[in-house]
């Protein structure tokens, strides 16, 4: 088969211009709070761009929103320069936008960003920012200009990206608070675009910033408004029209899930991790003329201009993730409590940690020493473990397993498949907690459990890839 189309997808670049900060506590706190790499975001984006330019076979690049971190103009100008660099290298570049790309000073659409700031060494100062109404014109050269059709209401557009392939770049009408997605007219437009593409004999792929299917059941339950507002409608529309995939971002989670509609048709929501996560990756999508679609994931081996001191990029950036932060800060709980407070500032509630020093020390020590075998007894799963597994569990710290699970939340593909000791033991604990929650009607926990589900079932989403088997790769048929 010959290749008909190939494109790169990058999402949640959260670009921050170096003009927007001086090194100091304010930017460090913001970075910790956001759980992504802000200070090195230009270097990371440039490193990915160099990889894309070096690939002469792929001529198309799609950016899926949250392109900059807080809607400031300096970051937008620099981000657009990068797009131009790609265009100058012969790439067709398409952009969509999302809630981090603009500010709503008067709360016009509940956007959480009222204005943009520059981080000084000791505080913040206001700087010029983008309004939502300015985005279309600012990025006109990268999508709308090449579009076959544009939805007048949302600015969503369709582009042809190969002999037999059209991409519908959907721009959320919503604001990430009360609604994300297209309204009625937008859905009609989308439906007509899919019909038109199919009538012309083209395959169709969709892309939208917010997830259509949540990465885990608990996500939808807790943040229904954050999932594409018309997701039930969009999911059914995709099944009705047999559109086989939608690419999404926003959750910063590397995750591929399948949805089956009422008519039995299926599609994939291919969610991509933030480019500036410690484990940031871009997707490379290849569609051949037989309609086979292959999705790969590509990370960085090095960062332009950054000495990672012999470490892999992930290890070098790992301390920005909360698990990395915990791993590096927890040893100081006993030896140097002030250092522990300093390292977790902006991420953990410093005031409370200060107030309850004794309790925190006690709890952290207990939790860190807890053996997997102790949890096996608590969850009554000792008999389910093989002799070897139980013997090993006496030497395994349960907390190490918890850190492994947490460290895979964003990058996907957690390792604890059903036959592993960790899956059996943690599953047993969850089942026991399910019984306790039901017996004592613990409302706080009952609230987070989706109807018909359980803590045990929810936990499986995080222990291993119970989805499509691999969050980094998938191959399927577009027909």
The residues binding Fe ion (CB under 5 A) are: 12, 66, 98, 250
Choose between 15 and 138: whose C-beta lies nearer to Fe ion: 15
In the bound state, the residue with its beta carbon closest to Fe ion is: 66
Nearest approach, Cβ of residue 360 and Fe ion (Å): 31
The b-or-e profile of 229-243 (16+ CB within 10 A means b, else e) is bbbeebbbbbbebbb
Question: How far apart, in whole angstroms, are the C-alpha atoms of residue 172 and residue 190?
Answer: 12
Choose between 12 and 31: whose C-beta lies nearer to Fe ion: 12
In this structure, are residues 101 and 111 in contact, taking their beta carbons and an 8 Å threshold?
A: no
Choose between 30 and 250: whose C-beta lies nearer to Fe ion: 250
Question: How far apart, in whole angstroms, are the C-alpha atoms of residue 287 and residue 55?
Answer: 16
Choose between 132 and 250: whose C-beta lies nearer to Fe ion: 250
Phi, psi of 282 (to 5 degrees): -115, 160
Nearest approach, Cβ of residue 188 and Fe ion (Å): 25
In this structure, are residues 110 and 56 in contact, taking their beta carbons and an 8 Å threshold?
A: no
In this structure, are residues 285 and 478 in contact, taking their beta carbons and an 8 Å threshold?
A: no
In this structure, are residues 372 and 420 in contact, taking their beta carbons and an 8 Å threshold?
A: no
Q: For residue 404, with 0-12 CB atoms within 10 Å meaning exposed, 13-18 middle and 19 or more buried, which class applies?
A: middle
Helix axes 41-54, 73-88, angle to 10 degrees: 10
Nearest approach, Cβ of residue 206 and Fe ion (Å): 17
Choose between 64 and 385: whose C-beta lies nearer to Fe ion: 64
Nearest approach, Cβ of residue 76 and Fe ion (Å): 15
Question: How far apart, in whole angstroms, are the C-alpha atoms of residue 14 and residue 249?
Answer: 12
Token digits of residue 435 = 């019984």
Choose between 132 and 431: whose C-beta lies nearer to Fe ion: 132
Nearest approach, Cβ of residue 309 and Fe ion (Å): 28
Write down the residue that tokens 């969610």 correspond to: 271
Q: What DSSP element (H or E) covers 166?
A: strand 165-170
Choose between 66 and 422: whose C-beta lies nearer to Fe ion: 66
Choose between 223 and 359: whose C-beta lies nearer to Fe ion: 223
Nearest approach, Cβ of residue 84 and Fe ion (Å): 23
Nearest approach, Cβ of residue 176 and Fe ion (Å): 6
Token digits of residue 413 = 């593909």
Question: How far apart, in whole angstroms, are the C-alpha atoms of residue 162 and residue 169?
Answer: 15
* Number of neighbours of residue 441 by Cβ within 10 angstroms: 8
Choose between 179 and 250: whose C-beta lies nearer to Fe ion: 250
Nearest approach, Cβ of residue 451 and Fe ion (Å): 27
For strand 92-96 and strand 60-64, is the pairing parallel, antiparallel, or unpaired?
Answer: parallel
């Amino acid at each position: 088969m010959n290749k008909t189309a190939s494109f790169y997808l990058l999402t949640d670049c959260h670009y921050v211009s170096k003009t927007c900060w001086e090194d100091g506590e304010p930017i460090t706190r913001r970075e910790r709070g956001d759980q992504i790499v802000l200070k090195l975001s230009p270097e990371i984006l440039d490193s990915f761009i160099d990889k894309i330019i070096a690939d002469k076979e792929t001529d198309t690049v799609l950016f899926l929103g949250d392109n900059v971190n807080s809607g400031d103009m300096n970051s937008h100008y620099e981000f657009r320069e990068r797009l131009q660099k790609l265009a100058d290298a012969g790439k067709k570049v398409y952009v969509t936008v999302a809630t981090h790309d603009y500010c709503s000073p008067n709360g016009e659409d509940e956007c959480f960003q009222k204005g943009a700031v520059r981080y000084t060494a000791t505080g913040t100062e206001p700087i010029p920012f983008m309004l939502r109404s300015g985005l279309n014109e600012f990025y006109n050269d990268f999508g709308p200009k090449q579009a076959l059709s544009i939805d007048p209401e949302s600015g969503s557009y369709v582009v042809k990206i190969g002999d037999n392939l059209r991409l519908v770049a959907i721009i959320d009408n919503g604001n990430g608070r009360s609604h994300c997605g297209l309204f009625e007219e937008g859905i009609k437009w989308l439906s007509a675009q899919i019909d038109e593409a199919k009538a012309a004999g083209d395959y169709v792929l969709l892309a939208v910033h917010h997830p259509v299917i949540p990465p885990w059941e608990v996500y939808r339950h807790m943040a229904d408004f954050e999932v594409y507002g018309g997701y039930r409608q969009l999911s059914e529309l995709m099944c009705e029209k047999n559109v086989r995939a939608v690419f999404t971002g926003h959750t910063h989670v590397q995750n591929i899930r399948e949805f089956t509609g009422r008519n039995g048709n299926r599609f994939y929501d291919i969610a991509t991790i933030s480019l500036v996560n410690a484990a940031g990756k871009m997707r490379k999508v290849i569609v051949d003329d037989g309609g086979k679609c292959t999705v790969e994931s590509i990370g960085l081996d090095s960062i332009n201009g950054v000495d990672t001191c012999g470490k892999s990029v992930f290890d070098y950036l790992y301390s920005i993730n909360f698990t990395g932060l915990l791993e590096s800060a927890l040893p100081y709980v006993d030896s140097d409590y002030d250092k522990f407070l300093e390292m977790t500032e902006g991420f953990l509630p410093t005031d409370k940690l200060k107030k309850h020093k004794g309790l925190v020390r006690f709890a952290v020590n207990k939790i860190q020493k807890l053996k997997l075998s102790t949890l096996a007894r608590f969850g009554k799963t000792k008999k389910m473990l093989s002799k070897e597994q139980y013997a090993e569990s006496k030497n395994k710290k349960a907390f190490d397993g918890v850190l492994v699970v947490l460290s895979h939340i964003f990058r996907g593909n957690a390792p604890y498949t059903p036959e592993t000791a960790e899956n059996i033991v943690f599953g047993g604990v969850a089942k026991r907690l399910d019984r306790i929650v039901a017996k004592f009607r613990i409302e706080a926990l009952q609230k987070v459990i989706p109807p018909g589900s359980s803590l045990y079932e929810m936990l499986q989403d995080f222990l291993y890839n119970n989805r499509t088997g691999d969050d980094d790769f998938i191959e399927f048929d577009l027909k």
